[in-house]
Structure formats: structure tokens, C-alpha cells
């Protein structure tokens, strides 16, 4: 009886295929969304007497706009269609919001001091995105 032969470990006959996995891109998306929403909400409430939101253009266009769009693209690569749709939509929303606040875009100046018209138009912009958020909420409910 050969003890060495009985205790040998046999190598697998074929190599084991390893599945490559991507890191979870949702952390970038959710972090960018939360940070942007927090700063925008605080300024909207007048926290620390902030009335001009132009300082948040970089946050809206780059952190939220570009960051969420990059995160959305990687969600698409991973096959997460709903996450891709939501993060991509919010990237476009925040990017558009940032462009509306950008002084060089000329949106505010085009109203020539008629702030009531500007606020009404801006309210329609927010209303349309609120309806889209309602659809996202309904789609996220378990069936």
C-alpha cells in the first residue's frame, strides 16, 4: 500500500473559467446624487442666506452631470437597465439645471427682468422632471 499515492490531490482536468466582474458603479452615482441634492436643497431653503445658486454650477454640471452619466454607462455595461435609466436621467436633469443657472448661457438675461415669467418656466421644467420621477417611483415598486 502506497500512502503517498492515496493522498495525492488530483488537478482538475480542465481549467476553471473565472468570471470577470466589474466594480459596482452605483456608489459614484448615489454619492454624486446625494451631494448635489443636499447642496441644492440647502440653497433652495435659503440656508445661510444663500440667494444666488451660481456657485453650484460646477457641482451640477460636473459632479452630478458627468459623474452620474459615467455611473449610468457602467450600469448599462453591467446589464442594470433600470439603474442606467434612472442615473442617466438624473445626469441630464442636473446638467440641464446647471446650464440654466450658468450666467453665460443667457437664459436669465433673455427674460429681461421678468422674473415671474422665468420662475413660471423654471417651475414647468421642475414639474416635467417630477412627473418622470413619479414614473420611476412606480416602476421601482415590487410587482
C-alpha cell at 69: 452619466
Exposure string over 59-78, b if 16+ CB within 10 A, otherwise e: bbbebbbebbbbbbebbbee
The residue segments making up the domain with residue 87 are: 25-140
* Residue 69 placed within a domain: yes
pTM: 0.75
Q: What is the C-alpha separation between 32 and 29, in angstroms, rounded? A: 5
pLDDT in tens, 70-91: 999 999 998 899 999 999 999 9
- The pLDDT score that the predictor gives to residue 5 is 58
DSSP 141: S
pLDDT over 80 at 51, yes or no: no
* Residue 82 placed within a domain: yes
* Residue 40 placed within a domain: yes
* Residue 19 placed within a domain: no
In the chain, the number of structural domains is 1
Amino acid at each position: 500500500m502506497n500512502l503517498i499515492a492515496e493522498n495525492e490531490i488530483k488537478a482538475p482536468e480542465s481549467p476553471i473559467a473565472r468570471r470577470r466582474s466589474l466594480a459596482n458603479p452605483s456608489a459614484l452615482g448615489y454619492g454624486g446624487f446625494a451631494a448635489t441634492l443636499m447642496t441644492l436643497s440647502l440653497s433652495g431653503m435659503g440656508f445661510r442666506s444663500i440667494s444666488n445658486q451660481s456657485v453650484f454650477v460646477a457641482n451640477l454640471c460636473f459632479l452630478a452631470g458627468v459623474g452620474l452619466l459615467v455611473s449610468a454607462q457602467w450600469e448599462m455595461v453591467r446589464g442594470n437597465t433600470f439603474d442606467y435609466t434612472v442615473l442617466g436621467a438624473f445626469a441630464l436633469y442636473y446638467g440641464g439645471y446647471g446650464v440654466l443657472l450658468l450666467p453665460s448661457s443667457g437664459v436669465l438675461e433673455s427674460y429681461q427682468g421678468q422674473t415671474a415669467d422665468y420662475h413660471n418656466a423654471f417651475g414647468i421644467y421642475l414639474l416635467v422632471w417630477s412627473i418622470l420621477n413619479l414614473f420611476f417611483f412606480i416602476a421601482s415598486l415590487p410587482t
